[in-house]
Structure 1
Amino acid sequence: MDGTIAQPRPFLALGLRLAAAGALATMMMLVKLAGTHDVHLLEMLFWRQALTFPLILAIMFAAKRLHELKTERPGAHVRRSVYGITGMVFVYGSVLLLPLAEQATISFTAPLFAVLLSAFLFGEKVGVYRWSAVALGFAGIVIVMRPGGDISMVNPLGVFVGLVAAFLVALISYQIQDLNRTESPWAIVAWFTGLTAPVMALALPFVGKAHDLRTWGIIGAMSLAGATGQILLTSSLRYGHAATIIVMDYTALLWATFYGWQVFGRLPPATLAFGAPLILAAGLVIAWRERSLARRAASGTGEAPTG
């Protein structure tokens, strides 16, 4: 996996990632809202995938892009689907277990896990800058959890699930960036939803139930927001490097705070104001450092970039 970007367009990538953050934050709010309407997690995942798949195919058909579904890398799509649906279980689970602002903050640890993955999985040399950022970010998580204080508002299981979700998001970002070298964003999403919807359908006899029109509306809106966000997210990784554009993800905290206040009547606690900046600062340091290293490598100095 060399991380090659198909057509580098950094400003377009940043714009796509910003739009993706808004769409996915809206999806998270709708996931939590669906949970209050007694929709099971696995049922949400089925409808999220099952409604997205025909939508993607219809768009590809209208745009005369169905030929892009042809692939010589079915194994890569299967692996991405396995990790992807597992990641969605943890992401949706963290949303149901945690308030929106706390869940969004914990999701920002994905860049920290990306550093760990680059070091231990891909053998990249990581220096003091990024290791310090990792330590800073996890210190922020400790503050958000409020150990020794009033943790009545923070579910420890939710924090654990959120951290696993962030780890899987980091891993999946590498997979998507690799797939983008040869596959279009539309094909990546189509393969993912097409492979996972039948699997999730196996759970329906056990968790599915009848819903009123309002609940079906929430489920439909959740699927639409998720599909939009997934396409935008995948496209952003086609036009820009994850280490550079991931900074736009932090705008999700603004959306989460707004939705938590307006939809669920809850503002984040004061401790989040202390922990979140540490996590955001860690992610910014990592993004800055990786961009600097990428430029140094591109300059052909012959040095082995670390940092």
Structure 2
Amino acid sequence: MIVAAFCFATMGVFVKLGKPFFSPAELLFYRTLIGFTSVSLVVFARRQPVLPPNWGAHLKRSFTGYAAIVCLFYAITELPLATAVTLNYTSTLFFALICVLWLREKLTGRVSVALLIGFAGIVTLLRPSFDSQTWLAALVGLMSGFFAGASIFQVRELGQMGEPEWRTVWWFTGVSTLLSLVWLVFHRFSPISSANVWILAGLGASATAGQLAMTRAYKEGRKFLAASFGYLTVVFSALMGWGLWGDVVSFEGLLAMGAIVLSGLIAARRG
């Protein structure tokens, strides 16, 4: 999971590096295309069936996952890397809230504390953004956390239906690639050159490696322990943002990020 956290932070770096050359939609297209191609090669080599009986659930998961990553990529291009990643990691809070509202699960004291701490952290982290021209990017970053939480909820439902992980990933990357392609047909395709092709290669490689490492971590390890180490993505993102772009996180910002991470860890222990 430490490897996965480092890879996902590195993916954020490549998204930010790609901003002068590509739009967020283009970056997302190449990221999902590389993942879809990689998974398809394995799936078809093993002759595994890709048409599931629960295709409607796969579509819902794919659409929410696509929305989450679109919002994340946009937020990364407009905000400091650590801020964008932290807002995306509110997904655990939204997942817990969805379980309470949708499944009528009991709102335990632990989840209540997690939601309160997380809400305080979000307000503190976003407050400076509302006073600047990055307020829209900050809200989009928060939306990435909401859609990611909804996507996690749907992945959980797919798992309860007996759907294998590889098929969930195949559908998500396939639908995301198709949606991005349709978007770009009516938008634009930026030229790929020797000056930027390495960014796309790094983006695809880091995202795919992170996905593989994360899948292995959740398969082999304990769920809460894996989720805890997953929050190292925020730490790695802060260090990379500082080292590459001189992003300095204020003391207030550090407290806000710490509150969001703590609330996520508390919420993750709900199950």
Q: TM-score w.r.t. structure 2 length? A: 0.88
For 1:169-208, what per-residue CA distance to the aligned partner results, in whole angstroms no more than 9, with x for missing partners? 1111122233234233222222222223223212334221
Instruction: Say whether the 8 Å CA contact 1:185–1:235 is kept in structure 2.
Output: no
> Is 1:57–2:59 an aligned residue pair?
no
Unaligned 5+ residue runs, structure 2?
none
> Is 1:194–2:174 an aligned residue pair?
yes
Picking from 154, 157, 178, the partner of 1:178 is 157
Identity %: 26
Residue matched to 1:219? 200
The structure-2 alpha-carbon separation of the partners of 1:94 and 1:199, relative to structure 1 and needing over 3 Å to count, comes to: same
For 1:185-237, what per-residue CA distance to the aligned partner results, in whole angstroms no more than 9, with x for missing partners? 22222222222322321233422121321311101211222222234444555
- Report how many aligned residue pairs link the two structures: 269
Which residue identity is paired with 2:16?
Answer: K
After superposition, residues 214-253 of structure 1 pair within 5 angstroms as 214-237=195-218, 245-253=226-234
Q: Alignment RMSD, CA only?
A: 2.4
The structure-2 alpha-carbon separation of the partners of 1:246 and 1:40, relative to structure 1 and needing over 3 Å to count, comes to: same
Q: Structure 1 residue 243: deviation in Å?
A: 5.6
Q: Distance in 2 between matches of 1:80 and 1:92?
A: 18
Which residue identity is paired with 2:211?
Answer: Q
The structure-2 alpha-carbon separation of the partners of 1:141 and 1:43, relative to structure 1 and needing over 3 Å to count, comes to: same
Unaligned 5+ residue runs, structure 1?
1-16, 292-307
Q: Distance in 2 between matches of 1:273 and 1:261?
A: 13
Residue matched to 2:6? 22
Residue matched to 2:79? 98
Residue matched to 2:190? 209
For residue 53 of structure 2, give the secondary structure of its aligned residue in structure 1: coil
> Is 1:39–2:22 an aligned residue pair?
yes
Instruction: Say whether the 8 Å CA contact 2:33–2:173 is kept in structure 1.
Output: yes
Q: Distance in 2 between matches of 1:155 and 1:110?
A: 21
Between 1:51-60 and 1:217-226, the stretch displaced more is 51-60
After superposition, residues 72-87 of structure 1 pair within 5 angstroms as 72-87=53-68
Provide runs of 4+ in structure 1 moved above 4 Å: 149-152, 234-244
After superposition, residues 97-136 of structure 1 pair within 5 angstroms as 97-136=78-117
For 1:39-71, what per-residue CA distance to the aligned partner results, in whole angstroms no more than 9, with x for missing partners? 11111121112222121122345xx53315352
The structure-2 alpha-carbon separation of the partners of 1:282 and 1:58, relative to structure 1 and needing over 3 Å to count, comes to: same
Which residue identity is paired with 2:167?
Answer: A
> Which of 1 and 2 has greater Rg?
1
Q: Distance in 1 between matches of 2:219 and 2:114?
A: 26
Q: Distance in 2 between matches of 1:198 and 1:281?
A: 36
